[in-house]
Every structure is written in structure tokens, then in C-alpha cells.
Amino acid sequence: MQVDKIYFENLLNEELLSLDYLTEGQIGPIYTLKIPSNRYLLKTSKPSTHLQTEVRMLKDIKKYDIAVPAVYDSSESHLLIEFIEESRVSGYDQEIEAAKVLSSLHSVTNDSRMYGYWYDTTIGPFEQKNEQTQYNWTLFLGQMRIMPMAKICFDKGHLPKGMLGRVEKLCRDLYKYIDMSQITPSLLHGDLWSGNILFNIKSVFLIDPAIYFGDREMELAFIFLFDTFGETFFRHYSEVHPLSKEFHETKVPIYQIYPLLVHVAIYGESYLPALEKRLKQLKV
């Protein structure tokens, strides 16, 4: 994508010293933009609502005094945000600080006990539908998360028909696996791997959100999947939100199916063995 340098010079009212390609994001190239007084992160994409949805999600998280990058400008094809310079501080335990931030995020609920969100959000390059299914977490998880992503995988030719059928059967029976009476809707980041939580001397920052209200242990299963954090994190987190008895044996394999399907949809069949392992654990 061609970046309009003059636009950003006029916006920031300073000379643009450099515009450097950083990496390829899920929806387009990402750059660092430098002016004499500051440095920014510039995300770009083909025209869509994707980046403006990201702005809404960042602002919603910020309402609860959780640090996110400041937003400076956005459009259908770009998002200019604060560049977070990561740093290590002596005596600072990242896992403890992450546990504080996520236990705080997961303490946010809503008065109507709604699962989902007030608008559709995104994860990676995909839209997340957030039709509100009050009181019924397993219905939301099956109909709004797992099955739509499984169908995307199937349509891309990455998910065999037989495996699609097994995933569909699991979704029909989710209520048999999970005790919904013990679950309260919690605000989730939704895509919490190590690249989406940044640490520096100022704070712990959450980036690239995929928010919705769900079982907070959905987030923890995602953390387990990619070894984002270890024992220290879980010990401090569980002081605020104790883990359910069914977490390790039942919820972890169920809740890892959605992020695994997202990875199948993006990266292809290399993630199918991990998906097969979870289905076998659940005897599906």
C-alpha cells in the first residue's frame, strides 16, 4: 500500500523523518513512523471497517483503566497509534503484572449477563459476530465462535468434512460439558498471545483486541495453548479468580478449539493435529 507521507506531515504538523516497514499484519503492512518529537505505529489495510472497529475496541478497554496504545488517527485504510517501546525493569515480574491486568479486565461484566458484545468485533483478518445470547454461554460459544470459524476453515479447504461434522456435534453438546451456573460474563481481550501484551516502564499494554463478554477461562485456555504465561501468572490470577474444577480436564480442550480453528483458517492444515488432539480428549 502506498502511504501518503504529506497527509501525516500535515496531521502531525512536523516533518516526517522516516517511514519504515515493520512487518506484515493480518490485514496489511505495518510501519513505524518517526517525526522529530515522537514515534508512531501505522497499521494499514485495504478499505474496510476493520481498523475502525479496532479503535472502538481499544477505547472500550481504556474505559476500565487498562492501558492500551493511544489512538491519533484512523480511517478505512489506516490506523495511527502510539508506538510502545518494550523494556525490562529490575524487580518487575511480567507474569505478576499481567495477572493484575487480566484479573482486572475479567472483573468487568455487564448488568444484563450478556455474552457477546454490543457490536461485531474482529480477530485477525476475520469478523467476529456478536449476537447477544443472554444467559447461554455454550450457545454463544457454539453458534457465534466455533461453528462460523469451522465453516470458514472448511470453505478454504483446510478442514476435512468429517472433522467439521465432529466439531458440529461438539457444539450441539457443549451444554453437557460445561456448568453454566458457575459462569459470569467477563470482558475478554479475545486474542491474548505474547505478541498482544506489551510491557514497559510505564505499564502493561494490551494491543490488537478481539473483545467480547465470555467465560474468563476462555482467555486462560488461550494462554495455555501458546504458553504465554506460566505458573507465576496462574498463581496470582487465581487469587482473584479461582479456577473452576473442570478447567484443566474439560474447559481447556473445549476453549482451545476456537483459537486453533482461527489458526487453521489463517495458516492452513499444520494446526489440524492439535485440533484432532482436543477432539479426542473430549471423545468426539
pLDDT tens digit sequence for 112-124 = 889 999 999 999 9
Which one of 53, 82, 111 terminates a domain?
A: 82
Task: Write down the catalytic residue from 60, 191, 208, 215.
Answer: 191
In a domain, 135, yes or no: yes
In a domain, 87, yes or no: no
* Whether 28 and 143 share a structural domain: no
pLDDT, tens digit (0-9, with 9 covering 90-100), for 180-227:
988 999 999 999 999 999 998 878 999 999 999 999 999 999 999 999
227 is catalytic: no
Nearest CA-CA partner of 74 in 29, 41, 32:
41
pLDDT, tens digit (0-9, with 9 covering 90-100), for 32-65:
999 999 999 999 999 999 999 999 999 999 999 9
* Whether 77 and 139 share a structural domain: no
Q: CA 245, CA 125: separation in Å to the nearest integer?
A: 34
pLDDT, tens digit (0-9, with 9 covering 90-100), for 56-112:
999 999 999 999 999 999 999 999 999 999 887 655 699 999 999 999 999 999 988
In a domain, 214, yes or no: yes
Average pLDDT for the chain? 95
Q: CA 139, CA 174: separation in Å to the nearest integer?
A: 8
| pLDDT value of residue 86 | 87
Per the listing, cell 515480574 goes with 93
* Whether 122 and 262 share a structural domain: yes
Q: CA 193, CA 228: separation in Å to the nearest integer?
A: 6
- Cell digits of residue 120: 461485531
* Whether 148 and 251 share a structural domain: yes
User: What letter would DSSP give residue 150?
Assistant: H
Domain residues for 54?
5-82
In a domain, 88, yes or no: no
In a domain, 27, yes or no: yes
